[in-house]
Amino acid sequence: MSERIDTAELGEKIVNVLKTIYDPEIPVDIYELGLIYDVFVNEDYDVKILMTLTTPNCPVAETLPLEVEEKVKSLDAVKSAEVEITFDPPWTQDLMSEEAKLELGML
C-alpha cells in the first residue's frame, strides 16, 4: 500500500516546483512574481493551478502554462495537473513578494 501524502504537504512540494520556473524576461520565479493565484489539490491528487501572466500578450503565454503543468505533473504524488489562466484580477507589481521586489531593485 502506498503511503498517503497530506494534500497540504503536496501543496508545499508544488510551490517548491513553481519556484523553479522563471519568467524569461524577469530574473524572478513565477511564484515570487505573484503569477500564481491559487493551487488546489483534491484527495485524488488532481492539481489545479490558477495563474496569470504579466500581460495578456506575454511572449510565453503559450509555453509557460504547459511548463507549469509538466513540472507539477513530474511530482510522483500528482495524478493530474491543469493550469487555468486568468486576467481577473490583472497582474500588477503589487502582487510581487518583497523578495522579488528586492531582486529587481524596487525597494
| Per-residue model confidence (pLDDT) at position 1 | 38
Rounded CA separation 27/7 (Å): 30
State the residue range of the domain holding 22. Answer: 7-92
Instruction: Work out how many domains the chain is built from and give that number.
Output: 1
Q: Does 105 fall in a domain?
A: no
Q: Is residue 66 part of a domain?
A: yes
How does DSSP assign 6-40, residue by residue?
-HHHHHHHHHHHHTT-B-TTSSSBTTTTT-EEEEE
pTM for the whole thing? 0.90
Q: What's the CATH number where 37 sits?
A: 3.30.300.130
Does residue 102 lie in a domain region? no
Mean pLDDT of the chain: 92
Residue 75 falls within a domain, yes or no?
yes
Confidence of residue 56 (pLDDT cuts 50, 70, 90): confident
Instruction: Kindly state whether residue 29 falls inside one of the protein's structural domains.
Output: yes
Single-letter residue type at 75: L
Q: End-to-end alpha-carbon separation of the chain, Å?
A: 50
User: Across the strands, what pairs with 29?
Assistant: 22
Could you give the CA distance from residue 101 to residue 96 in angstroms, rounded to a whole number?
Answer: 6
Q: What is the pLDDT of residue 95?
A: 96
**Domain annotation covers residue 74:** yes
Any domain includes 98: no
Model confidence pLDDT, tens digit, residues 77-92: 999 999 999 999 999 9
Q: Measured between alpha carbons, how far is 95 from 35 in angstroms, rounded to an integer?
A: 8
Q: Pick 59 or 44 by higher pLDDT.
A: 44
Q: Quote the CA–CA distance of 99 and 17 in Å, as a whole number.
A: 17
Is the preceding peptide bond at 90 cis, omega within 30 degrees of 0?
no
